[in-house]
Chain A
Amino acid sequence: MNAARDIVLATRNLRMAFGGLAVFDNLNFELGRGERHAIIGPNGAGKTTFVSLVTGLLTPISGDVEFNGAAITRLSPQQRVKAGIARTFQINTLFRGLNPLESMVLALCERDGRSGQAVTSVSREKPQIDEALAMLERFGLQEGALTLTDMLPYGQQRLLEVALALALKPQVLLLDEPAAGLSTQQGHELFSQLVELTAGTTILFIEHDMNLVFRYAEKVSVLAAGSMVVQDTPDNVRNHPRVREVYLGV
């Protein structure tokens, strides 16, 4: 089984530090194609840093990020997006002064290479507008499509955060605490929605609610003390002695 796992994303001996503060010494990680994979770990373990290293917003001191078997460590964030990696942020990273329709059309125009078009009206970009509407409907965001993003209920902003990334049709979607700031109840609703909406996309998500992790992840990696302690199925991770010790605190 394991031998046949098709690795879409991997990190090799990744080393990272902020100034004198070492975050990772030697981080090795593999993500199989089609997986829904969770990264868990205590606050400050470096989960967000890991996502930023993969997406190119941060540069490692040494080591490599591999995508479909080729090193992408030297590619710009934009080149990685074009290659098929998309992400969301733990803290909303949205176009607050635009509405969801504008935001979505913008995302699709960027994806389709239409954003350099500076002559005719956006209204001419029919395929992108139609797709944007369909996408907003899928996410149940059509009601507020013309409301300023800043004015939307927080839960809808969280959904829009994911919708904008998914609109890029990525091969791998990295979700950094998509349920951050939501109540437990809202978090469960969001996740059940996300599982449906992202079907067919490889998902790597960070989540601190263990109920959500063990319910929705097919594979779990535990990040602690600068390395991936375990990468296994939820059941094995739950029962792993070191995990219980370092993370679950049992």
Chain B
Amino acid sequence: MTTLDTSAPATGKEAARAKFAGYFVGLSRWKIGEVLFWLALVGAYFVPDMNIILLGHILIWGLFAMSLDLLLGYRGIPSLGHAGFFGIGAYAAGFLGKYGWTEPISGLLFAMAIAGAVGLVTGRFVQRVHGVALLMVTLSLNLILYDAVHRATDVTGGDDGLQGIVIDPVLGLFRFDIFGKTAYWYALIVTFLLFLVARALVKSPFGLSLLGARENTRRMIMLGAPIERDVSFVFAISAALAGAAGALLTQTTQFVAPSALSFDRSADVLVILIIGGTARLYGAFIGAIIFLFMRDWLAALSPVYWYFWIGLLLVIVVSFFRRGVLPTLETLLQRLRAR
């Protein structure tokens, strides 16, 4: 902007303008930490003795928690029933695979579309509900759905789960193996692509209006913002991404049981997001890494009481890290740099 006349020293005003104009560019630029994060997920596969199956589950949980982050972290809408969308995606992919549509990528897209459509309707339905009432409504919807799936044994297999799901090799080339190798790459690529979608969304003007509505709905209304349309939309996107996570679980394990949409899962994904930190997308993945590694390790130590330790961790995070692990690390890094 001030490149025409380089001889004259930039006035304070011009310098300030240049700085401010670059602010949003800086926000959406890829940081080195981000690149390292995804490279680490690629590299982790090659670490000797790595538990690839666990790693795959981390991706699925991370994607699931990220979907909740759009709703809770960015828009400020809490949900205690997010597993409902995960389960809808999981069962949608399962039914396709069971009844003959075995191609995985179109199956995944179909599951996302179904979960997204249910999310859109849910978003419209809960638009005027807030706070504790909203927690109750989302929780109830989740429980109703769970109960329905649980009881409809003819259709869903009930507690025994949906048997006989067939999933073709990815792109006709990569068969899902018992070591979880194909599963990991498939989950990694899908998760990364969907992360790109979410990242673009939160850095866009729409993402900014989500933050605005989270910060102050009244002001948003007085800016003329269609906040109800926005709630439906973010619900739909969030649900579609949760559905993708569910579909990944079904496709990579060729199995789905009612636990996919249990309330426990809704609670766990909330715990993961809060441990990792909200409104930064990566918090979801950091939380998933901490949660799943701890669960794996603790369950080996004491198979019955592992959740006690997870609970303790949550208490520690909420008391000492407040906004979650990732934001605290970010602040620490910034302070170190400023020295």
Binding site for B on A (CB under 8 A): 55, 57, 77-78, 81-82, 86-87, 89, 93-98, 101-103, 105-107, 109-111, 114-123, 125, 129-130, 133, 137, 142, 145-146, 164-165, 168
Contacts and interface: CB of A to CB of B under 8 A. Distances in A.
Contacts of B225: 78, 110, 115
Interface string B140-156: 00000000000000000
Nearest to B222: A87
A96 B214 CA distance: 10
B219 A111 contact: no
B215 A95 contact: yes
A94 B219 contact: yes
A4 to B, nearest CB: 32
Given A93-B216, A123-B25, A130-B21, A77 B208 contact: no
A118 B207 contact: yes
B174 interface: no
Contacts of A137: 13
A119 B204 contact: yes
Residue of B13, B200, B205 with highest tally of chain A CB at under 10 A: B205
Contacts of A142: 13, 16, 20
16 contacts: A57-B218, A77-B221, A78-B224, A82-B224, A94-B219, A97-B211, A116-B205, A118-B200, A118-B207, A119-B204, A120-B200, A121-B25, A122-B24, A129-B21, A137-B13, A142-B20
Contact of A123 (B27, B215, B233): B27
A57 B218 CA distance: 9
Contacts, number: 131
Contacts of B16: 142, 145
A122 B209 contact: no
Contact of B204 (A86, A87, A95, A117): A117
Contact of B223 (A57, A96, A111, A117): A111
A107 B220 CA distance: 8
B219 A164 contact: yes
A168 B204 contact: no
Contacts of A120: 200, 204
B194 interface: no
Contacts of B20: 101, 129, 133, 142, 145-146
A82 B212 CA distance: 18
Given A78-B221, A78-B226, A121-B203, 7 more contacts: A77-B222, A81-B223, A94-B216, A105-B208, A106-B208, A106-B223, A122-B27
A110 B209 contact: yes
Contacts of A118: 200-201, 204-207, 233
A102 B214 CA distance: 14
B2 interface: no
Interface string B1-30: 000000000000100110011011101100
A165 B215 CA distance: 17
Nearest to B225: A110
Contact of A122 (B205, B230, B233): B205
A50 B222 CA distance: 15
A96 B204 contact: no
A163 to B, nearest CB: 12
B205 A93 contact: no
Given A121-B28, A122-B28, A129-B24, A168 B207 contact: no
Contact of B24 (A103, A116, A123): A123
B235 to A, nearest CB: 14
A14 to B, nearest CB: 20
Going nearest first, the 4 A-B pairs with the smallest beta carbon separation are A81-B224, A118-B206, A123-B24, A121-B28
Nearest to B218: A93
Nearest to A81: B224
Contacts of B21: 129-130, 133
B239 to A, nearest CB: 15
A69 to B, nearest CB: 21
Contacts of A121: 24-25, 27-28, 200, 203-204
Nearest to B279: A97
Given A121-B24, A121-B203, A95 B223 contact: no
A111 B222 CA distance: 11
Residue of A96, A111, A115 with highest tally of chain B CB at under 10 A: A115
A133 B16 CA distance: 9
B204 A110 contact: no
Nearest to B211: A98
B206 to A, nearest CB: 4
B219 A109 contact: no
Contacts of A102: 208, 211
B219 A96 contact: no
Contact of A107 (B17, B223, B226): B223
Given A94-B219, A120-B200, A109 B17 contact: no
A93 B24 contact: no
Contacts of A123: 24-25, 27-28
A119 B200 contact: yes
B222 A165 contact: yes
A103 B211 CA distance: 10
B281 to A, nearest CB: 15
Interface string B214-256: 1110111111111001100100000000000000000000000
A109 B278 CA distance: 25
B25 A97 contact: no
Nearest to B226: A78
